Amino acid sequence: MLGGFERKVRSRRKVSREFCLKGPHRSYGTLIAFCLVISLLFVPHKPISTGSTYSQRRSAPNRSDKATRDRALSLDSVLPALNDVVPIPSALIGNASVDCASDNLFKTSYHDAIFAVCASGSSGFTATGLDLTLDVEYLQNPVSISVPKLTDGSPPCDSVAMPTKVAPTTRAILTGSSLPTATSRRLKASAPMAIEAKSCTCKSIPRPCVFLHGLGTSNERAELQDTPKLTQEKFGIIGDHAPCCTSVKYAVINTVDAGWRNDTLQQKFCDFSLSMSESSDVATGTIADTIVVTHSMGGLVMAAALAKGKCKFAESTSWVSLSAPMMGSMAGDFIRDLCDGEFTKIVAGVLDLIGQCPASTAKKSIIYQNEKYSTPEINAAYTAAQEAYRGNVTAAICSTSYHGVLSKFTPSVRVSAAGYWHFT
């Protein structure tokens, strides 16, 4: 993961198999929630507070229930992780020590990630890892979570979790009650916990770096930024892990009202890239001695700009592409289906997940190549961009699964994966 985050997860004081996790769907600016009720997992497609509609998650017709379950947050792993906590006297994560005022500090693992858990009694607890921090607070009163009624015709959901017996220490952490005396006594005798920060060295020539984001940023800045704060945080703290970058700048461009084939948007990508090095030639549009990093649709924009000759890369420039949808995305087709009314029976439930219709210009622009919404002109633009991509990209990072590092974007990625059927 490129950056950590803090999120409050509300929990009941009474240990139960019923709980909900809520968080913002960063990709579309809406709220999503996962509810585990009597071993069944539900994803509300409307805000919980306004009378939710629930649906069993399905990734595509005829795909297995196992594939559907795999897309869930692994809520069934939470209690086992807390059951495995080991008392420790101190924790050093990266270069920072974990501050635990209560001195009730533990170590555990969740999905291969190591966490230091600080139990603060009635104030809740905090789980701190190298890439992820979770703040947990307790509700003042118990909340009854009943089994939702499926309204979309889906068959009954299968169980994804079994009852878990919790240890006394786990119960204390979950409820905010006092820890067992024996646990407190063992703390001083336990070994400290230390997780070294991940590091890497530059294997190329250090150069200035410019980061160009993808779809979804509605604001815009005329000047390059020193931090990624205005880029939906999707770059995390990547600048702290880029040893080949002598300087790091971030573009903030409106990628909501302009799609990847937009000439003005493409020129902005070129202009920002040209501004990074004094050896670049603005007159000829030659970007030199620069590392250009693009993410998602940003890769398509840059490829299209190169294909149209708006700018070009010198041999001294490297292009690093992160997850470029070079054939488009079925998410674009899916949104068009919804907004055009093809799936009217489920539109009301899903619009809360993917955003309001009509779809933005940028979302509509990433329709899949050679599919029903594409045209010969769009297909040709994709082909030209692909040729420019193959001829210019230095390094590319693509995923083969929606599973990846545990981050603040994990819920939105898995929900999206459950809803969009991809050919690749």
Kindly state whether residues 124 and 213 are assigned to the same domain. Answer: no
50 is written with which tokens? 């306004």
Q: Which residues is 211 bridged to in the sheet?
A: 250, 293
Range of the domain at 344: 330-365
Contact between 223 and 184 under an 8 Å Cβ cutoff? The reply is no
Q: What is the pLDDT of residue 394?
A: 97
Asked if residue 23 has pLDDT above 50, the reply is: no
Considering the domain boundaries, does residue 240 fall inside one?
Answer: yes
pLDDT (tens digit per residue) in 287-328? 999 999 999 999 999 999 999 999 999 999 999 999 899 999
Evaluate whether residue 299 is within a structural domain. yes
Asked whether residue 114 is assigned to any structural domain, the reply reads yes
Find the CATH number of the domain harbouring 305: 3.40.50
pLDDT of 421 reads: 55
pLDDT attached to residue 341: 60
User: What's the token pair of residue 73?
Assistant: 């947050």
- Measured in Å, how far apart are the chain's first and last C-alpha atoms? 23
Above 90 in pLDDT, residue 95? no
318 φ/ψ angles, rounded to the nearest 5 degrees:
-115, 140
What CA–CA distance (Å, rounded) separates 181 from 40?
A: 35
pLDDT at site 123:
84
More confident residue, 40 or 7: 40
pLDDT at 229: 87
d(CA 314, CA 298): 19
* 250 and 277 housed in the same domain: yes
Q: Are residues 319 and 334 in the same domain?
A: no
Look at residue 297 in the predicted model and tell me its pLDDT. 95
CB atoms within 10 A of CB 141: 7
Whole-number percent of the chain with pLDDT over 90: 35
- pLDDT for 417: 61
Number of domains in the chain: 3
If asked whether residues 144 and 83 sit together in one domain, one would say yes
**Residues 323 and 397: beta-carbon distance below 8 Å:** yes
Please, how many CA atoms are within 13 Å of residue 106, restricted to the half-sphere of its CB?
Answer: 24
pLDDT value at 148 more than 80: no
User: Using CA atoms, how far apart are residues 127 and 132, in angstroms rounded to an integer?
Assistant: 8
* Pairwise pLDDT comparison (275 vs 58), residue with the higher score: 275
Distance (Å, whole) CA 417 – CA 420: 5
Q: Please check whether residue 20 is in contact with residue 34, taking contact to mean a CB–CB distance below 8 angstroms.
A: yes
Give residue 226's pLDDT: 93
| Model pLDDT, residue 49 | 41
Q: What is the pLDDT of residue 280?
A: 98
Same domain, 25 and 144: yes
**Of 199, 221, 241, which one is at a domain's C-terminal end?**
199
pLDDT, averaged across the chain: 76
Q: Which of 112-121, 178-187, 301-310, 367-376 has the highest mean pLDDT?
A: 301-310
Domain match, 193 and 217 both:
no
Are the beta carbons of 19 and 145 closer than 8 angstroms? yes
Same domain membership, residue 317 and residue 338: no
Are residues 343 and 297 part of one domain?
A: no
Task: Report which of residues 309 and 200 the model is more confident about.
Answer: 309
In-domain check, residue 392: yes
The confidence score (pLDDT) of residue 246 equals: 96
**Is 189 within a domain?**
yes
- Per-residue pLDDT at 320: 97
Residue 358's pLDDT band (boundaries 50, 70, 90)?
confident
Label residue 419 by pLDDT band (50, 70, 90). low
Stretch 182-205: mean pLDDT: 70
Q: Which of 365, 392, 411 is the last residue of a domain?
A: 365
Name the helix (H) or strand (E) containing 27: none
Lowest pLDDT segment from 26-40, 48-62, 272-286, 392-406: 48-62
Q: Does residue 35 sit in the same domain as residue 133?
A: yes
CB 133 within 8 A of CB 4: yes
Which carries the bigger pLDDT value, residue 200 or residue 413? 200
pLDDT at 199 over 90: no
Q: Is the model's pLDDT at 145 over the cut of 60?
A: yes
229 and 187 within one domain: no
Same domain assignment for residues 138 and 126: yes
- What percent of the chain is predicted at pLDDT more than 70? 65
Q: Which residues contact 223 (CB under 8 A, 6 or more apart)?
A: none
Q: What is the pLDDT of residue 62?
A: 36
Q: Are residues 139 and 195 in the same domain?
A: yes
Closest residue by Cα to residue 294 from 267, 276, 319: 319
